[in-house]
Amino acid sequence: MNDDYLWDKTGEPDPQVQELEEILSSLRYQPKPLQIPNELRLPQRRNYFPWVAIAAGVSLAILAGGIWLSTRSHGDAPQRQAEVTPPAPVKEVTPSAPKTPERKNESPEEVVAVHKHRPRASVPVLSKREREEALMAKEQVMLALRLTTEKLSLVHKKTQNTNPANQIKNQHRVG
Amino acid sequence: MYATADMLLTSPAPAAPEQSHETAIEVVLVKAVLEGDRDGFTRLYDLYAPLVHGILLARVPRAEVDDLVQDIFLHAFKKLHTLRESSSFGPWIAMIARNRAVDFYRRSRETVEINDELRGSNTQDSRATEILELIRNLPEAYRETLVLRLVEGMTGPEIAARTGLTAASVRVNLHRGMKLLREQLGFMEGL
> First vs last Cα of chain B: how many Å apart?
28
CA distance A123 to A131: 12
Which amino acid belongs to residue B27? Answer: V
CB B31 within 8 A of CB B53: no
Q: What is the pLDDT of residue A35?
A: 82
Chain A residues near any Cβ of chain B (below 8 Å): 3, 6-9, 16-17, 19-21, 23-29, 31-37, 40, 42-46, 165, 167-171, 174-175
* Confidence (pLDDT) at B130: 92
The pLDDT value given to residue B12: 44
Q: Do A165 and B155 touch (CB under 8 A)?
A: no
Q: Do B150 and A24 make contact, defined as CB atoms within 8 angstroms?
A: yes
CA nearest to A27, candidates B139, B93, B124: B124
> Could you tell me which of B152, B54, B179, B136 has the C-alpha nearest to residue A9?
B152
Burial of B12 (0-12, 13-18, 19+ CB in 10 A): middle
Domain count, chain B: 1
What are the tens digits of pLDDT across the range A99-137?
445 544 555 555 555 555 555 556 677 888 888 999 999
Q: Which of B50, B83, B153 is opposite residue A21, by nearest beta carbon?
A: B153
Distance from CA of B155 to the nearest CA of A (A): 5
Residue B170 or residue A36, greater confidence: B170
Contact (CB, 8 A) for B54 and B147: yes
Contact yes or no for B155/B22 (Cβ under 8 A): no
Which ipTM score applies to this complex? 0.78
Which residue spans within chain A are E strands per DSSP? none
Q: In terms of Cα–Cα distance, which of B149, B141, B134 is closest to B191?
A: B134
**Region of A161 on the Ramachandran plot (φ > 0 left; ψ -120 to 50 alpha; else beta):** beta
Which residue range is the domain that position B127 belongs to?
5-9+16-189
The model carries a pTM of 0.59
Q: Do the beta carbons of residue A60 and residue A105 sit within 8 Å? A: no
Could you report the per-residue pLDDT of B59-100, keeping only the tens digit for each? 999 999 999 999 999 999 999 999 988 889 999 999 999 999
How many angstroms separate the CA of residue A175 from the nearest CA in chain B? 5
- Structure confidence by residue, pLDDT tens digits, B29-53: 999 998 888 889 999 999 999 999 9
The contacts of residue B128 (CB under 8 Å, 6+ apart) are: A23, A24, A26, A27, B120
* Average pLDDT score over residue span B124-145: 91
Residue B138's CATH number: 1.10.1740.10
Q: Answer yes or no: do A31 and B125 touch at CB < 8 A.
A: no
Selecting from B92, B151, B153 the residue whose C-beta is nearest the C-beta of A174 gives: B92
| Farthest CA pair distance, chain A | 125
What secondary structure does DSSP assign to B101-152, as a single string?
HHHHHHH-TT--HHHHHT--SSHHHHHHHHHHHHHHTS-HHHHHHHIIIIIS
Residues of B in contact with A33 (CB under 8 A): 42
Q: Are A89 and A115 in contact (CB under 8 A)?
A: yes
Distance separating alpha carbons of residues B135 and A128, to the nearest angstrom: 82
DSSP character at residue A121: S
**DSSP single-letter state for residue A25:** G
